[in-house]
Amino acid sequence: MPQSFHPEERSGVGPLFTSPDADQARLFFRQKPRRLTNKLTTARDAVARLVGDGDYLGVGGFGSNRIPTALLHEVVRQGRRQLGLAGHTATHDCQILIAGDCVDRCDVAYVVGLEARGLSRNARRAFEEGRVQVTEWTNAALAWRYRAAAMGVPFLPARIMLGTDTARYSAAREIRCPFTGIRLVALPALFPDVALIHVHRADVYGNCQIEGIMVSDHDLARAARRVIVSTERIIPNEDIRREPTRTAIPYYCVDAVVEIPYGAYPGNMPYEYFSDEEHLQEWLEAEEDPALFAAFVREHIREPADFAAYLERCGGLNRLQELRRLEHFPGKEGDESDR
């Protein structure tokens, strides 16, 4: 029978930013409230109470899709520092946090890029200048690290990263399967201090409904010690009870609920509104010049009193109405016949 942690098996040299200790996590989860209580609050209060300097953050959605933009703006506005970030296809979300100089360490699967839109100059500068400490991973690695934490186990085995520099600069370890002897990568459980997740509907207790792809939010909501949910709308508890099948995140995972319509803007919210590609391009263009970009961040994040003021600045209801149309009539960008 091959031995686990055999000397020939390699370890990644990257720092492990969070403890995979499942017993330590159990002690935390033991004292987490079980009771159905009204958790409705404001973004300002939720971030002030539940996100501290130095915390490690997991962000829901997928970079520019169903992201908790309003909560991320609030983190920047309150000037949080030295946060850790799970860079699980972190695109516009990462761009916002780096713009606020909030992050000093990152588990990287995908950062600094905005997929087909191009690369964030400002985020690149932060990583290239060494202002953000990096451990390399992959999207599946971070997804399964959340899964391990959600399961309450210290690691999960997988068949990725093997033989590459990605593994070498990760904090994973190679092990042998105790049953078949094959070589596997052991992915340490990732328990974020805080998860920020945007959903379609939630009741005041934090029971959440999500439309479209789940990405990794099922696991992220269960892996994180504290969870702040922003929601397009609050629904009565009776609506949750009528269709319990639809509850993606149960209340006992959730610490605060904030109602923020268009809270994922300029990201795409499935079945609600499409991403504002023009505004995302404005971000990329503003980042070309650091001084210009500082003014841009001041104007768009620091100065607006709240997210509604940001939405106003970006074109308000008229623009949002256009994005709703794009979402509901995809592929008809130049076609007026559906109006």
Partner 1 sequence: MSISRARKVTNLTADYNAMELMICLAARCLEDDSTVVVGTGAPCAAAMLAQRTSAPNLMIMFEAGGVGPLLPSMPISVGDSRTFFRGLAAGSMPEIMEACQRGMVDYTFLGGAQIDMYGNVNSTCIGDHTHPRVRFPGSGGANDLASLCWRTMMITPQDRRRFTSRLDFLTTPGYLTGPGAREAAGLPPGTGPYRVITQLAVIGFDPASLRMRVESLHPGVTRQQVSDNTGFELLWAEALGESQPPDPEELRILRQEVDPFRYVIGRA
Residue number with CB closer to partner 1 (44 or 125): 125
Kindly state the smallest distance separating residue 299's Cβ from partner 1, in Å: 25
| Number of neighbours of residue 6 by Cβ within 10 angstroms | 11
Residue 282 binding partner 1, by CB under 8 A? no
Task: Please spell the DSSP secondary structure of 83-105, one letter per residue.
Answer: EEEEESS-SHHHHHHHHTT-EEE
The angle that helices 121-128 and 290-297 make with each other, rounded to 10 degrees, is 110
- The identity of residue 177, as a single letter, is C
162 versus 308: smaller Cβ distance to partner 1: 162
Residue 310 CA neighbour count, 13 Å, CB half? 25
Per-residue binder mask for partner 1 (CB under 8 A), 90-119, x = binder: -x----------------xxxxxx-xxx-x
Q: Shortest Cβ distance from residue 162 to partner 1 (Å)?
A: 4
CB of 45 to partner 1, least distance (A): 30
288 binding partner 1? (CB under 8 A):
no
Distance CA 326, CA 64 (A): 16
Residue with tokens 């296809």: 89
Residue among 333, 307, 289 at smallest CA distance from 74: 307
Q: Are 136 and 170 in contact (CB under 8 A)?
A: yes
**8 Å CB contact between 72 and 97:** yes
Which of the residues 33 through 62 are near partner 1 (CB under 8 A)? 61-62
Cβ contacts of 297-303, under 8 Å, gap ≥ 24: 297/76, 297/99, 297/100, 301/73, 301/76, 301/77, 301/96, 301/99, 301/100, 302/76, 302/77
7 binds partner 1 (CB under 8 A): no
When the beta carbons of 137 and 205 are compared against partner 1, the nearer one is: 137
* Binding span for partner 1 by CB under 8 A among 18-26, 52-60, 166-174, 193-201: 166-174
Distance CA 141, CA 18 (A): 15
Q: Mask 119-158, x = binds partner 1 (CB under 8 A)? A: x----x--xx-x---x-xxxxxx-xx--x----------x
**Identity of the residue, 7 or 331, whose beta carbon is nearer to partner 1 in the bound complex:** 331
Q: Judged by CB under 8 A, does residue 279 bind partner 1?
A: no
- Least distance from C-beta 164 to partner 1, angstroms? 5
- Residue 118 token pair: 């191009």
Residues contacting partner 1: total by CB under 8 A: 67
Query: What residues contact residue 101 under an 8 Å CB cut-off, 6+ apart?
Result: 81, 126
Task: Please tell me whether residue 136 adopts helix, strand or coil conformation.
Answer: strand
Say if residue 236 is preceded by a cis peptide, omega within 30 of 0: no
Window contacting partner 1 (CB under 8 A); options: 46-54, 224-232, 273-281, 316-324: 273-281
Tell me if 253 contacts partner 1 by CB under 8 A.
no
283 binds partner 1 (CB under 8 A): no
Rounded to the nearest whole angstrom, what is the least distance from the CB of residue 112 to partner 1 in the complex? 6
State yes or no: residue 207 binds partner 1 (CB under 8 A). no
Report angle CA 177, 181, 185 to the nearest 5 degrees. Answer: 45
Two tokens at 16?
């492990």
Residue from 16, 42, 183, 306 touching partner 1 (CB under 8 A): that is 183
Q: Does residue 284 touch partner 1 according to CB under 8 A?
A: no
DSSP 8-state assignment for residue 126? H
Interaction between residue 265 and partner 1 (CB under 8 A): no
Which of 104, 239, 282, 327 is the binder for partner 1 (CB under 8 A)? 327
Binding site for partner 1 (CB under 8 A): 61-65, 87, 89, 91, 108-113, 115-117, 119, 124, 127-128, 130, 134, 136-141, 143-144, 147, 158-166, 169, 174, 182-185, 211-216, 218-219, 268, 270-271, 274-275, 277, 327, 330-334
